[in-house]
Amino acid sequence: MASVREVAFELFREHEMTTIFGNPGSTELPMLAEFPDDFRYVLGLQEAVAVGMADGYAQASGRPTHVNLHTAPGVGNGMGAIFNAQANHSPLLVTAGQQVRAHITMQANLTNRDATRVVHPFVKWSFEPPRAEEVPHALARAIHAASLPPKGPAFVSLPMDDWNEEADAEAAHVVARTAEPHSGPNPDAISSLARRLEKASSPVLVAGPDIDAAGGWDDAVALAERQKLPVFASPAPGGGRIGFPEGHPLFQGVLPPAIGPVTETLKGRDLIVVVGSSVFPYYPYIPGPLLPEGGSLVAITSDPDEAARAPMGDVILADVGLALKALLAEVGEANRSEPDPLPEPTGGDETDPLTPTMVNHVLGDVFPEDGIVVLESPSSTLSLRNQLRLSRPGSYYFGAGGGLGFGLAAAIGVQLAQPDRPVVCVLGEGSAQYAITGFWTAAAYDVPLNFLVLRNEEYSILKWFADIEEVKGAPGLDLPALEVAKVAEAYGVAAKSVSGREELAEALKAAIGSSKPELVEIPVTPGMALF
């Protein structure tokens, strides 16, 4: 008879989950015993980093990804990152060790009491198998739950004495079984949307992150071109990925994130077709009408919860890629005039220190065709989008949940999943702190990504929020003398502080061309950079 460990690792193999991220403790060691040669364990020095790396890896590989955490306190450390993974629709198997079964009722040290309740709001399913022999089935169920739409984390608590027990005699079935995740749209709903599009006088497409995740990029472009649709990206804070090439002539920019301004931007549009996004990831609260006068909205999403919670409009629930294909097969050519393309981005004047806009402009100049950005530099998010106009699928990852710490950690996972594409992780010096130990993993595992750190000596975005919220005199918004480059060096990442346009361009070129992780830090002017 096979042991729980043998069957579980066979299951992981079957799902191509041979890279495991984690931070181990005594309760996880039995799982890691006799770790098979065809598996790779990537150590994060804190659980938030381990989960963030797994999140980046899962999104960039398109595969369910396993992250193993230390019992209760490790799960606690990972919670913010699990919240982010849920917002990112990232298919994670999150496991955590648990005390020996005979110790749980007496609540021996490190017992994860209420193991399934703690993570519950942030995962699709949380479970502790009632018997050791059911561990493989529980893991298989969690992997399928994580991978079926909407993708997201699922959690299994694993008592540490289960691994050497015998697995269920019928466990081979759960190892072998598959669950096809793509369900097609109702053809009637697609025909009706096609007719609405054909009849509309001023329709618009809002492209969301799940277009990229669903592999719908080319069909979104074909749809926009055939229908001559101006295209906006869904609001940046909730858009973890880019769903449409931002250098395309039909691309009109990123929607603002608040209710009033979204509606203002869409003024005069009679049909708003939202694909692969919630409607909408709003923040901050700036009230206003939800739709422009005379406007209606249809959203396509694979997430029943997004479908249910939208405050306006109609929804077609289906795999976003299949729905786009079906719509393309149905909709005719439009005879509308095309919108003017966005003006070419300029970096503005060269200042001392540089503006974030100029820094992103320089990055755009040296950015490789096949490059990937992982972004967590809050006050210059829009500026980066505008300056780089990323135009290839799988080129952009951003923490849709808004919990800082995603960027640095996820970038490592993205680079591990996409070893042939150069990854640049753009960070604010404040954001870098939430996953700072990730620098060690990047160095220790020779992950050749690059970091660009914008140093403005403050939490700029929070000062912008303070203005909007009419908050005066809030403490804790300044970050004097926060040395990211020196800290990165201490963790083993080669780092350089530069100033000025030329030095920045040279340093970035050298770093992007290198096969080691490198960091470039640059002082920038504080304040929100919108362009």
Ligand X SMILES: Cc1ncc(C[n+]2csc(CCOP(=O)(O)OP(=O)(O)O)c2C)c(N)n1
In the set 396, 397, 434, 439, which binds ligand X (CB under 6 A)? 434
Examine residue 112 and tell whether it contacts ligand X (CB under 6 A): no
Examine residue 355 and tell whether it contacts ligand X (CB under 6 A): no
Please state whether beta strands 518-523 and 494-497 pair in parallel, antiparallel, or not at all (unpaired): parallel
In Å, how far are 249, 353, 355, 479, 527 from 349, measured between CA atoms?
A: 26, 11, 9, 26, 16
Site string (170-209) toward ligand X, x via CB under 6 A: ----------------------------------------
Examine residue 12 and tell whether it contacts ligand X (CB under 6 A): no
Strands annotated E in 347-408: 372-376, 396-398
Q: Which of residues 383-402 bind ligand X (CB under 6 A)?
A: 402
Please state whether beta strands 423-428 and 126-127 pair in parallel, antiparallel, or not at all (unpaired): unpaired
Instruction: Tell me if 84 sits within 8 A of 399, measured CB to CB.
Output: yes
Minimum CB separation from ligand X for residue 209, in Å?
A: 18
Of the two residues 61 and 84, which places its CB atom closer to ligand X in the complex?
84
Q: Which of residues 51-90 bind ligand X (CB under 6 A)?
A: 80
Examine residue 281 and tell whether it contacts ligand X (CB under 6 A): no
Examine residue 257 and tell whether it contacts ligand X (CB under 6 A): no
In the set 246, 429, 518, 521, which binds ligand X (CB under 6 A)? 429
Tokens linked to 261: 């301004």
In the set 321, 378, 393, 394, which binds ligand X (CB under 6 A)? 378
Of the two residues 253 and 402, which places its CB atom closer to ligand X in the complex?
402
Minimum CB separation from ligand X for residue 407, in Å?
A: 9
Of the two residues 22 and 407, which places its CB atom closer to ligand X in the complex?
407
Strands annotated E in 304-456: 314-317, 372-376, 396-398, 423-428, 450-455
Binding piece for ligand X, criterion CB under 6 A, among 270-278, 317-325, 342-350, 375-383: 375-383
Minimum CB separation from ligand X for residue 429, in Å?
A: 5
In Å, how far are 50, 54, 203, 410, 423 from 44, measured between CA atoms?
A: 5, 10, 47, 11, 19
Of the two residues 20 and 358, which places its CB atom closer to ligand X in the complex?
358
As a whole number of angstroms, the distance between CA 161 and CA 166 comes to 11
The residues, ordered by sequence, that sit 6+ positions from 360 with a Cβ below 8 Å of its Cβ are: 347, 380, 383, 384, 386, 387, 388, 426, 529
Instruction: Tell me if 260 sits within 8 A of 286, measured CB to CB.
Output: yes
As a whole number of angstroms, the distance between CA 102 and CA 486 comes to 48
Examine residue 438 and tell whether it contacts ligand X (CB under 6 A): no
In the set 461, 485, 493, 520, which binds ligand X (CB under 6 A)? 461
Examine residue 406 and tell whether it contacts ligand X (CB under 6 A): no
Instruction: Tell me if 209 sits within 8 A of 240, measured CB to CB.
Output: yes
Minimum CB separation from ligand X for residue 182, in Å?
A: 33
Minimum CB separation from ligand X for residue 433, in Å?
A: 8
**502, burial (CB in 10 Å: exposed 0-12, middle 13-18, buried 19+):** exposed
Instruction: Tell me if 505 sits within 8 A of 436, measured CB to CB.
Output: no
Of the two residues 30 and 407, which places its CB atom closer to ligand X in the complex?
407
Chain residues binding ligand X by CB under 6 A are: 80, 377-380, 402-405, 428-431, 434, 456, 458-462
